[in-house]
Copies of this chain bind each other. A is one copy, B any other.
C-alpha cells in the first residue's frame, strides 16, 4: 500500500463531506446490499459516492457490483475502481488474486487495513463515503468508529428477535462512541410467493419498532426479500436493482447529505407487501 509520504498527499487531495457507517452487529442481514443500493441510488442523483468495504475477512461489495479490477496506485495514493454508475470502491477482495482466498488476520492487521483504506486511498471529492462494516463489536467496527470521521450510522436488521438483540449490541457500541444513529433499515421483512403472488413474513413479525424505541432512531424502511433482487445481487448486477420500498432510505440519505444536522423523522415506510421492484432498463454493467 501507500507510503507515509503518499498518505499525507492523499489526505490533501481527498474531500469527503460525509461518512456513513452501515452496521448491524449480526451477519447476513443485508448490510452490503443496503450499502450498495444506497450508493447506486445516490450516484443516480448525481452525487459523488464511494464505498469502503470494511469487512476484510468476508468482503461482499465487489461481488455485488461484478467488480474485479485491481486498484492501481498513483502519486497520490491507491485509485479506487469505479462501477458503471460511478461508485468508487475499495475492498480487500480487489487486492486478492483469488476471491475465495482467505485473509487470516488478527485484529491489529485488520485495523491497520481499515485505516489505510481511508488514509492511503485517493478517494478525491465525495459527497458521501459509505463504510460497510463487518458483523460484531470487535476490532474493525471499533477502529472505524475511533479512527474514521464517521458522522452517521445506519443500522440494518431483520425481523427476528435474535437479530434485534444483536443489533442492539452494535447500537450500544455506536452510542459509547458518540456516533449518531440516523435510522434503521429492516431487511427481509417479507417475501412474495412467485407462484400465487401472496406475501408472507418469512421470519415472523417485525421487531423493528421495538428496536427503534430502544435505540432512539426511526425505522426508515422495511425491505422485502425477492429472488429477482437476490439473483441480480448475486451475479454482480446490483446496479440493475430497483426497489420501491428503498425510496425512503435514499430520501433520508439525500437529506443527510444536504443538511447534516437533521435528525430524521420516522417516515411512513412503504409496507413491504406493497413494495414492487424490477430490474431497471439501464445498460448491463459488465
Contacts and interface: CB of A to CB of B under 8 A. Distances in A.
A26 B28 contact: yes
Nearest to A168: B100
As for how many copies of this chain the complex holds, the number is: 2
A275 interface: no
A239 B160 CA distance: 18
Interface string A161-193: 110011011101100100000000000000101
A198 interface: yes
Given A27-B26, A63-B162, A107-B107, A137 B196 contact: no
A106 interface: yes
Nearest to A225: B202
Among A105, A134, A137, A162, max chain B CB count under 10 A is at A162
Nearest to A170: B102
A65 to B, nearest CB: 12
Contact count band on A: 35 or more
A56 B137 CA distance: 9
Nearest to A166: B58
A124 interface: no
A29 interface: yes
A110 interface: yes
A38 to B, nearest CB: 18
The 3 A-B residue pairs with the shortest CB-CB distance, nearest first, are A27-B27, A28-B28, A107-B107
Interface of A: 25-29, 55-58, 60, 63-64, 99-108, 110, 134-139, 142, 158, 160-162, 165-166, 168-170, 172-173, 176, 191, 193-196, 198, 200-204, 214, 225, 227, 230-231, 233-235
